[in-house]
Structures are given as structure tokens and as C-alpha cells.
Structure 1
Amino acid sequence: MSAKKRKLGLTGKILIAMVTGFLFGYLLREIAPDSQFVKDYISDGVLHVVGTIFVNCLKMLVVPLVFVSLVCGTCSLSDPSKLGKLGGKTLAFYLFTTAIALAFAISAAVIFQPGAGGQLTANLSYDAKEAPGLADVLISMVPTNPIKAMTDGNMLQIIIFAVIFGFAVSHVGDKGRRVAALFEDLNEVIMKVVTLVMSLAPYGVFALIAKLSLTLGVDKLKDVFMYFVLVLAVLMFHGMVVYPVLLKFFSGLNPLMFVRKMRDVQLFAFSTASSNATLPVTMETAEHRMGVNNRVASFTLPLGATINMDGTAIMQGVATVFIAQVYNVHLGFGDYVSVVITATLASIGTAGVPGVGLIMLAMVLKQVGLPVEGIAMIIGVDRLLDMVRTAVNVTGDMVATVIVGKSEKDFNEDVYNDSEAGKTKGLEEQLSEKSA
């Protein structure tokens, strides 16, 4: 009986790490609230080091994984029209879901009025960074130095170069086939490294959540409690209702299987609050758990991690109405339409810019004549919401990948319907299999 007993999976281990990390941080904060030792040696010491190393391990894989995987995918697309069709479908779906997210967010904020009766209790200030213009965005998409683009982690430039490089490889005959075979082998090696890093996830997640619980006080929630709850509710609705409905409508696949297989990715995204850091896990899941061919996943997922920001769009929609209500500024129907259009297009225009969510929000507020200083009210709780909206963002990336993969017939439905397909084994299990 004990031999048949199933080992605790990665999802269970991460959940345990999150709960114990939260409790550890909370208890430590209650027992020693002003301890310099706790701050210097536990919060900024052990927890910071372990958590940062884990996130760095994930980020370390992003650039080589995206470049190698995208070259592999493009090599197999000798017809340029197919690549254009793939890109068109992906971009259209991302813009469509972003518009839906904004519409739901604005509607919810208008109905529930999170900022009604609110009063500014302090002088607020926020220094809004300027978003790049359309011409600058188009020019900056093409790298002048591909190596520098990889060093800086500029995803759009890496995608452009990888597509051009992969297309060239597929059109130089036997030499190209040898290069393609090399990249296929490299892709397998990188995926194995992803598996090893995922085995360390519980320790990294524990450190990240413990530090967050230790340093983030709940007092910041008091003034913006209704805003926080409303954003959280719309995020959950979009992630758990809208995406499964779209998946069922466009692909006919079982959304419950999708939700089940997305748990690891969502937990990674929640813990790291970074779509790019989660990208190695997302791509591994798409290919081995969801059954999407590398030709599709290698293109849709890096692009989605860069420009698909449904979670951020929800925050912007609710935040815009919240700030308008606090400042007692009336927004008409035309203003709301302007918010939807501006934020949807800005999700592409500001791709790759640090602090993109708040830059986009500043653009939206300026568009409808609201004070940008209002952003200062919501910054205090933005870290918590950022974790949830990152999980929503990566879910949207995966939904698009599965739908586009199935429509392009680059999809294995048997793998998708197999609940055990591609399950990540623990490091101990892999080593014991090797020794056997």
C-alpha cells in the first residue's frame, strides 16, 4: 500500500511553501515588530538572498529559452505567410481580451463605486514617466545590436531577431538543417534546466512569501479597501470565468483540464509577480502539459509575456474610475470608451518599459483629464495586486497559445486530455531513476 502511495506533487509543495511562508513572516512580525536583527539578518538577509536567487534562476533562463525556442519554431515555418497568420491571430486575441478586461473593470467600478465619498487625507504626489511615442516604439522593435538586446532582456527585439534568424536558417539548405538540429538539441537541454529549477521552487516561494508577509503591513489597505477588493474580484472573474469560456468557445476543449494543468504556472506567477520570470515554466507547460507545438508556443508566449496585460488593464480600469470618484470628477461614456481604446493600444506601445503598469495608468489618466498624483493612493497595495494580476496575465497567454495552436493544427489533443502528461518530476525522483 505504501509503495503505491503518491508523492506530493509540485503544486502541493508550492502551496505548502506559500502558507508556511506567510505564517512564518506574520508570526515573526508580531513577535518582533521592530527588531533590527530580524530586518537585517532574516528579511534583508536569508529570505532576500534565497528569494532573489530563485527569481534570478528563472530570469537566467528567459533569454536563451525564448531565443532558442523561437528559432526552433521559426525554422519549421518555411512559409512566411503562416508566420504572419500566426502573428495576426495572436495579436488580435490579445487585444480582444484586453478590451474585454477593461470593459468589465470599468463596469464593475461604475456599479460598486469604490471611491465614492472618499477624501484625500494627505498631499499626494507621483512622478509619471513619459511613455514612448508610436514612432519610437516601431523603431525600437528592431535591434541595432542583438547581443545587447539579449543582455538587456528586451523581449520584442529578441523576438524580431529570432524570427529573422530562424527564417534564414530554414532557407539555406543542408547547412541550415544542421544548425536547426543544433538548436533543437539546445532547446531540450534548456528545458531540462527548467525542470531542475522548478524542483527548487518550494524553497524560493517560501522565502518570497515570507519576506512579503514580514514587510508588508495591512494598515495600507484601510484607505483603499474597496478598491483592493474590487480589483481582486474582477481579476478572479476574468481568470476563472472569462478565460475558460473563451477557451471553450474558440477551441471546444475542456476548460477544467486547462485550469488543472495551469496551477503550477499560476503559482509561479503569483510568487514571482513577473510574467517574464515565469516564462520558462509557462513554455514547459504549454509544450509538455498542454500539447501545443513548439512552433506556436515559442512565438505566442514570449509575445504574450511582453504585450498581453489583461491583469494590468483591469487594475487600470478600476483605478481610473476610483481616482475619478475620489476627486469627484464625472466621466462620461465617451471618456470610458477613450480609456478602453487608450489602455488597449498602450499595452503594446509601452511593452518592455520598466514599471509599465503605472506608466500605462498615467497615460490613461492624462487622456481623460484626471490628476496623475492619484496613483500615489494605490501604490501601497499594488504589490499584492501585482501578484494576482501576473497570474491572470500568464493564464491569458496560455489560453491564447492553446486556441491558436488548435486553430493552426499544431496541437496534440491527446496530450491535453491526459491529466498526467508532462508532469514535472521532483529532482530526487529523477536522480533515483538515473541511478536505477
Structure 2
Amino acid sequence: MKNLTKWILISLLLGIIVGLGMNFLMPNVFDSVDYYFFSPLGDIFLRLIQMMVVPIVFISIVLGTASIGDPKKLGRIGGKTIAFFLLSTAVAITIAMTLAFIVKPGSPGLMDESAANYEASESPSVVDTLVNIIPTNPIAAMTNGEMLQIIFFAIFIGFGLTILSKKTDRIYRLFEQANELVMYLVMVVMYTAPFGAFGLIASAVGGAGMEAIKSMAAYFLVVFVALIIHAIVTYGSVIKFVAKKSPIWFLKNFSPAMSVAFGTASSGATLPVSMKTAQENLGVRKSVSSFVQPLGATINMDGTAIMQGVATVFIAQVYAVDLSFTQLLTVLLIAILASVGTAGVPGVGLIMLAMVLDQVGLPPEAIGLILGVDRLLDMMRTAVNITGDATCALFVSETEKDLEEKNPTEEQAS
């Protein structure tokens, strides 16, 4: 994965150099090269990631919901954990979209006049959006890519697997095996990312010149600032005022896991390190850590939600589309619900972003505008994701001390 990161960054640099070079030196040749080479190269990558949207969302959300396990765990610890994840994701995307509207990173525009005149499809009312979350035909929802309906149906299936428990062991194992297959395919797709990055960035930069560089830098800055604010203000407040610990102490002791997350860009790959660090350095009880952090690696993706919020507003600004309140609410709902289905492996955030863009009437191919800087941001948001998991584990562990102290057998076993 480190080699993949290196090649994506090299491809980004080459794409910028080639795109700008052709923009300045051979503007008349650029259109032909873009049509026959740059655009097809990027389109192939985009089609590959779009191909994975429905299976990865459905399978991951079913497993994420079912992983709660024994329904008894949906008591105080389970309730606090899920409430924390949902609320923190809502706060994260609110911060992201607010910053994006204030800074307006996409206002310079990356597209030509015809692309800027793109018209978003009319969105349904708030009531219709909420009612339509429930599918009348789940298979049709999957065929048509109705993601809110797919997410609802997947949660419904996951809840059923949790309640039926041992009676549906084989079905659960089938989903686990399907998840392994899908994750492997995602990794295969991500190995085409350097080629896609080169084609998409060369096309975007070559077609817009230096304005593309300025806008990508603005987008990067907004996402970076949103991640920092969320980590310091949101997580820091929970650590300080709820868990009654020092945020500086937390950062110092949890930094080894954060560095691994930054290097791998994978919450799943970092999970063993983050659990060990939380238990040994932060003093989180093993019973709490074993429940909260694996669940968080599956359903808590605040960093990804921040990227989705900023990217959606950024792309809407590039295309001169004013997002309605209903569309903003849709982005908020999808980001919160889709965090359940955002697997902890590199690159899946792009698949979720394609879904979000499609649901609010923006073209998924606009992902090419941010793909060049996404890999570095992916590393940053993964570090934020696992920090959120550890913050929740510390919060639950510290607020459930009395409950656990009444169970010395469990304490000895941990």
C-alpha cells in the first residue's frame, strides 16, 4: 500500500505537469489527446469504483449492523456507542459544509462554460425524501442505485441477523465471505488509481490551467481545517468534559496508532494497533475496547463524512449549482448512514462520494477534480477516524466504571 501511495502521488505530479504543459505549449493538441487518452483513462477508473458502490454498501452495512451481536449489548454501552458515532458524524459533516460555504473553494471554477452550465435534477421535498427511504422493492432499489433505500434495507437485514443470532449463522458467514471478496476487489480497483489519477488530473488541469491548481489547493485546505477543528473541538471536548481527561495526554498516548493510520490509510489495518494503544496507553477497559473500536472501524467514519461534505459543496460550486435545503439534508443523511457502510480500507471514500453526488444530482465524474489530493487527505481522515473510535471507547469506559466494577469476573478476565 505504501508503494501504491507513492505511485498515486507520482501520477498526480505527472498529471499536473503534463496537463499544464499541454495547456501552455500545445493547447490545440490537448483536446484530441484528452478525448482519446486522458478522459478514457479516468473514465475506466471511475466506472470501476462506481461498479462497486451497491455491493460494498449493502454487504458492509449488513455486517456493520449485525456485528452488534447479542441484543443485550444494545443496552447502555451499545446505546452510548451508537449515539456517539451518529452525533459525531453529524457534527463532522456540519462543520465541513459550513466551512465549504464560507470559504467557497470551488468558486473559481474548474470547468469550461458548457460544464459550468450543468443543471442539477430537481430534488424531492423533505417529507418525500424521508418517506422514500423505505423501499417498496429492494431489488429495484439496488438496480436503480437508490442508496438511501439500500442502506435502510441493509440495516433491516442486519438487525434481523442480530435478533435471530445462531439461527442465521450460515447467512452471516456468507455475508462475511462476500465482504472479503468485495474488499479484495476494492483493493484491485485501487491499484488502477495511479492511472486514473493521471488521466483525470491531466484532463482537469489541462482544461483549466492554473485555476485548477488554485481550486484543488483551496479544497485541500478546507478539508484539512475541518478535520483539525473536528479532532480538536469535538473530540477534545468529549475527552475533557465527559471522560475528564486531558486532550494533550490523549494525543500524546494515542499518537502511535494515529501514525500507523496515517501511513496505511486503513482503519481496519490499524485496528489491532489502535485497540492495543487504547487499552495500554489510555487505560480503556478491554471489554469496552473490544466492543467499541471494532464497531467504530466499521460504522464511524467522521473523516470520510467531512470529505463528502466539502467535496459535494465544492463540486456544486464548480458547476455553479445552488444546493437546496433538501439536497443538503440528503447529503447529511447519506453521510451519516453511509458511514456505516464505509469499510476501513483505502479508497472506499471515493465510492461513497460517487453515491452522494449521484443522489443530489451532481455528476460522479467530477470526482476527478479532487482525486489528485484525495490520497493524502485519505491518510489524514483515517487518523481522525480511529481517533474518534478511541475517544468513544475512552468516554464509554470512563462513564461505565461503576457498572463494570460490579462484575469482577469480567474485570479479571480482561
- TM-score, normalised by the number of residues in structure 2: 0.60
The one of 337, 340, 355 equivalent to 2:332 is 340
Stretch of structure 1 that moved more, 307-316 or 336-345? 336-345
Task: Tell me whether 1:135 sits opposite 2:127 in the alignment.
Answer: no
Pick which of 270-279 and 368-377 moved more. 368-377
Aligned to 2:134: none
The aligned counterpart of 2:365 is 373
Contact (CA 8 Å) 2:254, 2:282: kept in 1 or not? no
The aligned amino acid for 2:156 is L
By percentage of residues, which structure has more helix?
2
Residues 10-409 of structure 1 aligned to structure 2 (within 5 Å): 81=72, 83-120=74-111, 130=145, 131=147, 132-139=150-157, 142=161, 144=170, 222=213, 224-349=216-341, 356-409=348-401
Deviation, 1:81, is 4.1
Measure, in 2, the Cα distance between the counterparts of 1:151 and 1:283: 24
The structural deviation recorded for 1:377 is 1.4
Whether the 8 Å contact between 1:137 and 1:349 is mirrored in structure 2 is no
Is this contact kept in 1: 2:293–2:393, CA < 8 A?
A: yes
Distance 1:129 1:335, change over 3 A: closer
Q: Would the alpha carbon gap of residues 122 and 301 (structure 1) be closer, same or farther in structure 2, given more than 3 Å must change?
A: farther
CA distance in 1, matches of 2:144, 2:284: 38
- How far does the alpha carbon of each residue in 1:335-377 deviate from its partner, in whole angstroms, 9 at most, with x for none? 3233212211222255579954223323322333222222221
Task: Report deviation, 1:271.
Answer: 0.1
Distance (Å, rounded) in 1 between the aligned partners of 2:114 and 2:323: 23
Taking the aligned partners of 2:144 and 2:371, their CA distance within structure 1 comes to 15
Counterpart in the other structure of 2:191:
none
Rounded to whole Å, the distance in 1 between the matches of 2:156 and 2:259 is 34
For the Cα contact (< 8 Å) 2:111–2:318, is it kept in 1?
A: yes
Structure 1 SS opposite 2:99? helix
More displaced stretch, 395-404 vs 112-121: 112-121
Change (3 A) 1:349 1:383: closer
CA distance in 1, matches of 2:263, 2:403: 29
Equivalences, count? 285
For structure 2, list consecutive stretches of 5 or more residues without a partner in the other structure.
Answer: 18-66, 116-142, 162-168, 181-193, 206-211, 405-414
Structure 2 counterpart SS, 1:304: helix
Q: CA deviation at 1:136?
A: 3.5
CA deviation after TM superposition for structure 1 residue 121, in Å: 5.2
Contact 1:296 1:410 in 2 (8 A): no
Question: For 1:353 and 1:391, how far apart are their aligned partners in 2?
Answer: 12
Report the alpha carbon displacement of residue 151 of structure 1 after superposing the two structures with TM: 5.4
SS at match of 2:362: coil
How far did 1:252 drift? 1.6
Corresponding letter in the other structure for 2:280: H
What value does the CA root-mean-square deviation take over the aligned residues? 3.9
Gap change, CA 1:355 and 1:398, over 3 Å in 2: same
**How far does residue 239 in structure 1 lie from its aligned partner after superposition?**
1.8
Structure 1: where are the runs of 5+ without partners?
1-17, 34-69, 155-211, 413-436
1:335–1:393 distance in 2 versus 1, CA, 3 Å: same
TM-score if structure 1 supplies the norm length? Answer: 0.57
Q: Distance in 1 between matches of 2:344 and 2:383?
A: 18
Distance in 2 between the 1:396 and 1:375 partners?
A: 26
Separation in 1 of the partners of 2:177 and 2:275?
21
Q: Distance in 2 between matches of 1:353 and 1:275?
A: 6
Q: Contact conserved, 2:282 with 2:394, CA < 8 A, in 1? A: yes
Residues 148-205 of structure 1: per-residue CA shift (max 9 Å, x gap): 5665666xxxxxxxxxxxxxxxxxxxxxxxxxxxxxxxxxxxxxxxxxxxxxxxxxxx
Q: Would the aligned equivalents of 1:291 and 1:411 in 2 still touch at CA under 8 Å?
A: no
- Matching residue's letter, 1:139: I
Q: Percent identity?
A: 46
